[in-house]
Chains A and B, each alone.
Chain A
Amino acid sequence: MTDAMEPILQINHLSKRFGAVQASDDVSLTVLPGRLHALIGPNGAGKSTLISQISGFLMPDAGQIFLKGRDVTHLSAERRVHMGLGRSFQVSNLLLEWSARRNVMLAVQARRGGSFRFFKNVWKDAELRAAAEAALQKVGLQDRADIRAMELSHGERRQLEFACALALEPAILVLDEPMAGLGPEGTAEMTAFLEELKHSIPILLVEHDMDAVFRLADEISVLVYGRIIASGPPETIRQSVAVQEAYLGSSSDAA
């Protein structure tokens, strides 16, 4: 790791408390360009809370979040998206009544602006359509463009979410368990996809599938009870006694 590389995402001493529960306890981590940083931890460790804070749906009690060097701690979720923060959700989050193409077109529109344009027909907008087709192509969903999101399979919905996220031209992607519910084949495909993707877009990955994590990650942070108990390259994490005691040893899906 060279000092010259400026982190895309940097989290400094983030803390969040819900009553007696310390959901985030002095969490610091960085995501560097071209890298995939994986965040693992047992259920209830505070991974989702951390993601909510990064994406701006929850305000931290203390600490800062920097996106491309700019302090975004107090910016709205929408502003962060415009600054390059893309994300996917644990549960599919799509406009189910709309076709795949329309879903992506709205994302392109969000990126290009103009949601307060009242007259020009949006569905015939060649610029939006072309950008949407390109994003669908990237995830291999171009043949399913006219299918309504509710009629897509679970795996295809995941792909569609990725198409929407990519249409936003993000500087970084925060992925919340993208492998969940995909099955072995889908997981393998998704892993290959992310392996390719991380070179162009750095990724913060929250994932339970340890095979995928250890294959993809350049760096792993282990979150337990809101605290990062270990952080480093995969080999270090695999060998860490603290991690094994706290997490890997007690988990059935340990690598």
Chain B
Amino acid sequence: MTREFWVSVVVLVGLPVAAFIAHITGETYIINLLTRMIVLGLAGIGLNFALGYGGMVSFGHAAFFGLGAYVAGIAAFHAFDDSLIVSMPFELGGTNQMLLIWLIAIFLAAVLAFLIGLISLRTSGVYFIMITLAFAQMLYYFAISWPAYGGEDGLSIYLRNEFPGVQTDKAFSFFLLCFAILLLVLLLCWRFINARFGAALQGARMNALRLSSIGIAPFPVKLTAFVISAMIVALAGALYGELNGFVSPSNLSWHMSGELIIFVILGGVGRLVGPLIGAIVFVLLETYLGGLTDRWQFFLGLILLATVLFANGGIMGLIGGRTRHD
């Protein structure tokens, strides 16, 4: 086993242990903080699938994150007052079932990512960054100008949605639910990356011409990875909405896209658990440094700068060692 593996184990064991201690000492605030790390980390892991493994530097993943959040928010909104989302051509009401909400969020994100990817993956480099940003900003302004769902003010989820057998309104239960999803997604990503698909995807990142010249078209491989990445990020977005009891256009803004990229770069590009570490550090800084000074992002900037300059593989690269390709 590599050092990276053990670092990942320590992180993945440490989080629930910390949450459990917070649970028995009654520190709900800490549990929510840990849940926040996990949910943001999940989103980072989703982005990393496209960015780290596929080399697609998307500056528009907030589109999928916000989409997931809004699906949770809109479903809960209509379930709360028993109204209809659409009445024509068929009647569709809200739901307070998380499983259904997640399925819808993941499905819609897949469709959206397919369309965005179809267009933006024909470009690369700066153009790809700008096109993905443009699509996300389109969604952002759409949400702002849609008064039915709160417009600029966002939308509250008054009662956290339900999951069979889990008391989702209890902080520790919700933490465990999110943690289980994180483990499941990590497991899937790990399998994907080390399967034939992952080999082709990493080949496409390193040298698309090489891939073509051995007879694998890079475009469908990258598009598939882009869609999978968006599905994970949308799931994280839905959980984020539930956690905060609130969704807003800021979930769709380019700040959010930027934060996701920060998780990935800070934690380690192309490192499976890296973005989770990035999100943990980010939330710690935001909470504790942010408590001391409003200018905490200045220090985040310094850390990011140091990471980019001195730690090639992010924090995971620093403590987990170099990636091995035997």
A residues near B (Cβ < 8 Å) are 55, 57, 76-79, 81-82, 87, 89, 93-99, 101-102, 105-107, 109-111, 114-123, 125, 146, 148, 164, 168
B195–A117 touching, CB < 8 Å = yes
The bracket for how many chain B residues form the interface is 20 to 34
Interface positions, chain B 181-199, Cβ under 8 Å from A, are: 191-192, 194-199
Contacts of B191 in A (CB 8 A): 118-119, 121
Partner-contacting stretch, out of B164-172, B203-211, B280-288:
B203-211
Knowing A95-B203, A115-B221, A148-B325 are in contact, say whether A78-B216 is a contact too (CB < 8 A): yes
Is B213 part of the binding interface, using a Cβ–Cβ cutoff of 8 Å?
A: yes
- How many A-B pairs fall under 8 Å by CB? 99
Taken together as a complex, chains A and B put the C-alpha atoms of A255 and B193 apart, in Å, by 51
Contacts of B209 in A (CB 8 A): 89, 93
A168–B215 touching, CB < 8 Å = yes
Contacts of A148 in B (CB 8 A): 325
A119–B215 touching, CB < 8 Å = no
Closest to B198 in A: A122
B212–A118 touching, CB < 8 Å = no
Taken together as a complex, chains A and B put the C-alpha atoms of A125 and B195 apart, in Å, by 9
**Min CB distance, A4 to chain B, in Å?**
30
Is B56 part of the binding interface, using a Cβ–Cβ cutoff of 8 Å?
A: no
Contacts of A106 in B (CB 8 A): 199-200, 203, 211, 214
Taken together as a complex, chains A and B put the C-alpha atoms of A205 and B198 apart, in Å, by 34
Q: What are 30 of the A-B contact pairs (CB < 8 Å)?
A: A77-B213, A78-B212, A81-B215, A82-B215, A89-B213, A93-B209, A93-B210, A93-B213, A94-B207, A94-B210, A96-B207, A106-B199, A106-B214, A107-B214, A109-B199, A110-B200, A111-B214, A114-B196, A115-B196, A115-B216, A115-B221, A116-B224, A117-B195, A117-B196, A120-B196, A121-B195, A122-B199, A123-B326, A146-B326, A168-B215
Contacts of A81 in B (CB 8 A): 212-215
Taken together as a complex, chains A and B put the C-alpha atoms of A52 and B224 apart, in Å, by 28
A118–B214 touching, CB < 8 Å = no
Tell me which of B192, B194, B196 has the highest count of chain A C-beta atoms within 10 A of its own C-beta.
Answer: B196
Taken together as a complex, chains A and B put the C-alpha atoms of A171 and B212 apart, in Å, by 17
Knowing A93-B207, A106-B200, A109-B200 are in contact, say whether A123-B194 is a contact too (CB < 8 A): yes
Is B217 part of the binding interface, using a Cβ–Cβ cutoff of 8 Å?
A: yes
Contacts of B196 in A (CB 8 A): 109, 114-117, 120, 122, 125
Taken together as a complex, chains A and B put the C-alpha atoms of A98 and B221 apart, in Å, by 19
Closest to A110 in B: B214
Taken together as a complex, chains A and B put the C-alpha atoms of A208 and B196 apart, in Å, by 38
B215–A118 touching, CB < 8 Å = no
Annotate B223-239 by CB proximity to A: 1 below 8 A, 0 otherwise: 01000000000000000
Contacts of B224 in A (CB 8 A): 116
Taken together as a complex, chains A and B put the C-alpha atoms of A118 and B227 apart, in Å, by 14
**Min CB distance, B228 to chain A, in Å?**
9
Taken together as a complex, chains A and B put the C-alpha atoms of A125 and B212 apart, in Å, by 22
Interface positions, chain B 51-69, Cβ under 8 Å from A, are: none
**Min CB distance, B205 to chain A, in Å?**
9
**Min CB distance, B215 to chain A, in Å?**
3
Contacts of A105 in B (CB 8 A): 199
Taken together as a complex, chains A and B put the C-alpha atoms of A249 and B160 apart, in Å, by 85
Closest to A125 in B: B196
Tell me which of A97, A101, A146 has the highest count of chain B C-beta atoms within 10 A of its own C-beta.
Answer: A97
Other-chain contact of B214, A76, A99, A116, A168 (Cβ < 8 Å): A168
Contacts of A120 in B (CB 8 A): 195-196
